[in-house]
């Protein structure tokens, strides 16, 4: 129970060792199992229905810079091919390259957020996720990234905001501020506090983040998590 509580409290493994007693490898396995539960719960969700509240979509790079031009933020990461993968990105001292992280595509509606590690942020990659996760007829808000251009033809009510002009579309009120704030929160948790992760484990950490958002107002997170364990493994 202590190991599960440590996981839910987001206690780093090296500190959890001194509290709970199990070895480092045992705690790593336990945390991995707990993230698997989070993943199963997120995957069992039905389609998002954007009616009274629109579904916000956005894509982001989980990337960072080398501090003092040393070390890597996403250990073991290989930059995926993308529209801008060939661009030379330099840090403020104009030497060395910025470390490219993977693309993450997200959908958010209130406390329901779903984030996906993707190799590219093009239409062929993002549209199948939208059609799978969102019910037809849903209202979708996004920026003007070309990958979203076919949303109306697929049965969605699609509205955009041009971020070069404003954060909120003055005519329609369309915005993506909810998901952009969530990106910042997710990056702080995964990139800064955890000091990054590998591509192999990134999706499970994204699912854990989405689970925590879903259970944000839970009166007893531990009890809810144990009930989720029962529902996943029964």
pLDDT at 196: 66
Q: Is 11 helix (H, G, I), strand (E, B) or coil?
A: coil
| Statement: residue 39 has pLDDT above 60 | yes
218 forms beta bridges with: none
Residue bearing the bigger pLDDT, 29 or 1: 29
Q: Between residues 85 and 5, which one has the greater pLDDT?
A: 5
SS3 category, 179: helix
Interstrand relation of 112-118 and 139-142 (parallel, antiparallel or unpaired): unpaired
Indicate the domain borders of the chain: 1-44+217-234, 47-196
Question: Quick one: pLDDT at residue 57?
Answer: 96
pLDDT at 205 > cutoff 80: yes
**Whole-number pLDDT of residue 62:** 82
Q: Which residues contact 76 (CB under 8 A, 6 or more apart)?
A: 198, 199, 200
Mean pLDDT of all residues belonging to the chain: 84
More confident of the two residues 67 and 22: 22
pTM over 0.75: yes
pLDDT score recorded for residue 194: 64
Q: What span, in angstroms and rounded, lies between the C-alpha atoms of 231 and 38?
A: 11
pLDDT in tens, 215-224: 999 999 999 9
Among the listed ranges 22-36, 80-94, 138-152, which one has the minimum average pLDDT value?
Answer: 80-94
* CA–CA separation, 139 and 136 (whole Å): 9
Q: Render pLDDT for 153-203 as a digit per residue (tens, 0 to 9).
A: 999 999 999 988 888 999 999 999 999 999 999 988 887 766 667 888 999
More confident residue, 184 or 71: 184
Confidence label for 64 from pLDDT (cuts 50, 70 and 90): low
Please list, residue by residue across 193-203, b when 16 or more beta carbons sit within 10 angstroms of its beta carbon and e when fewer do: eeebbebeebb
What one-character DSSP code corresponds to residue 79? P
pLDDT attached to residue 100: 59
- pLDDT, residue 102, reads 82
pLDDT at residue number 221: 96
């Amino acid at each position: 129970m202590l190991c599960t509580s440590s996981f839910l409290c987001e206690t780093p493994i090296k500190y959890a060792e001194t509290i709970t007693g199990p070895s480092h490898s045992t705690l790593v396995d336990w945390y991995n199992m707990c993230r698997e539960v989070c993943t199963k719960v997120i995957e069992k969700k039905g389609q998002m229905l954007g009616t009274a509240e629109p579904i916000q979509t956005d894509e982001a790079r989980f990337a960072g810079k080398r501090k003092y031009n040393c070390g890597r933020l996403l250990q073991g990461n290989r930059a995926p091919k993308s529209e801008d993968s060939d661009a030379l990105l330099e840090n403020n001292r104009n030497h060395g390259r910025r470390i490219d992280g993977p693309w993450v595509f997200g959908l958010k509606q209130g406390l329901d957020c779903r984030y996906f590690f993707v190799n590219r942020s093009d239409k062929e990659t993002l549209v199948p996720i939208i059609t799978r996760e969102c019910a037809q007829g849903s209202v979708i808000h996004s920026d003007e990234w070309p990958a979203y251009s076919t949303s109306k033809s697929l049965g969605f009510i699609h509205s955009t905001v041009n971020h070069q002009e404003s954060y909120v579309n003055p005519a329609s009120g369309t915005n993506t501020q909810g998901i952009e704030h969530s990106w910042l929160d997710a990056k702080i948790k995964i990139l800064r506090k955890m000091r990054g992760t590998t591509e192999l484990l990134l999706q499970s950490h994204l699912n854990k983040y989405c689970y925590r958002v879903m259970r944000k107002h839970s009166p007893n997170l531990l009890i809810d998590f144990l009930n989720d364990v029962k529902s996943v493994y029964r």
